Amino acid sequence: MTAALSFLFRALMGGIFLLAGLSKIADPARFLLTLRGFRIFPDIMERFLAVYVPWLELLLGLSLVLGLLYRASALLLSLLNVLFIAAILSVMARGIEIDCGCFGLLADALKLPDAADWRAVIRNSVFIGLLLAVYRMNNTMLSLEAYLRRADAKKD
C-alpha cells in the first residue's frame, strides 16, 4: 500500500516538474522576464537562474519518474518549493502583481492559473507535503534504484 502510494506521489510530482521544466526550457526569455518581475535578484543572477532552474526541475522530475535517486530529488524539490513560496510571499508583501511563471508555456496552453498569489502558495505547500511523503516512505514501486539494488544483490 505504502509502495503504491509512494509511486503515485512520485509519478505525479515527477510528471508535473518534468513538464514545468520542459515548458520553461522551450522559452527561456519568457522565464527571464518572469524572474525580473519578482525584483529579488541582481541581473546576472536572474540570467543564470533563468537557464538553471528549468533544467533542475527537469532533471529532478525525471529522477522522480524513473525512481533513480528519488529520495534526494524529493528533498531537493521540496527545498526548491520552499524558495518558490518565499519568493511569492515576497512579491505579495510588496504588492506586486505578476505571474509566478511556475508552468511557463504550459500555463498558456492548458489555461492553468499562474498568478503569484495565495493559490500558488497553497499549491506549492501541497507539493512540499507530497514530496516529503515520498522522501519518508521506505518502499516504492517501479523504481530503477530498487531494480539496480536487486541486480547488485543477485551478483553478490
Partner 1 sequence: MRSIRVCFCWRQCPTGRGRKNNMKKTIQEMIALLVLSAVLALLYNALSPTSLRILPRQKADIHSGTAPGETQQAPDAGEQGTPQ
Q: Which residues bind partner 1 (CB under 8 A)?
A: 25, 27-29, 32, 43-44, 47-48, 50-52, 54-56, 58-60, 63, 69, 71-73, 75-76, 138, 145, 149, 152, 156
Q: Smallest distance from the beta carbon of 83 to partner 1, in angstroms?
A: 13
CA angle 27, 21, 9 (to 5 degrees): 155
Q: Decide: 73 and 13 in contact? Cβ < 8 Å.
A: no
Cell digits of residue 145: 534504484
Residues present in the chain in total = 156
Q: Smallest distance from the beta carbon of 127 to partner 1, in angstroms?
A: 17
Cell digits of residue 128: 512540499
How far is the C-alpha of 96 from the C-alpha of 116, rounded, in Å? Answer: 9
| Residue 16 CA to its chain's centroid (Å) | 7
Among 154, 150, 138, CA closest to 71 = 138
Q: Smallest distance from the beta carbon of 80 to partner 1, in angstroms?
A: 10
Q: Smallest distance from the beta carbon of 126 to partner 1, in angstroms?
A: 22
Nearer to partner 1, 59 or 92 (CB): 59
Nearer to partner 1, 93 or 151 (CB): 151
Nearer to partner 1, 124 or 140 (CB): 140
Nearer to partner 1, 33 or 92 (CB): 33
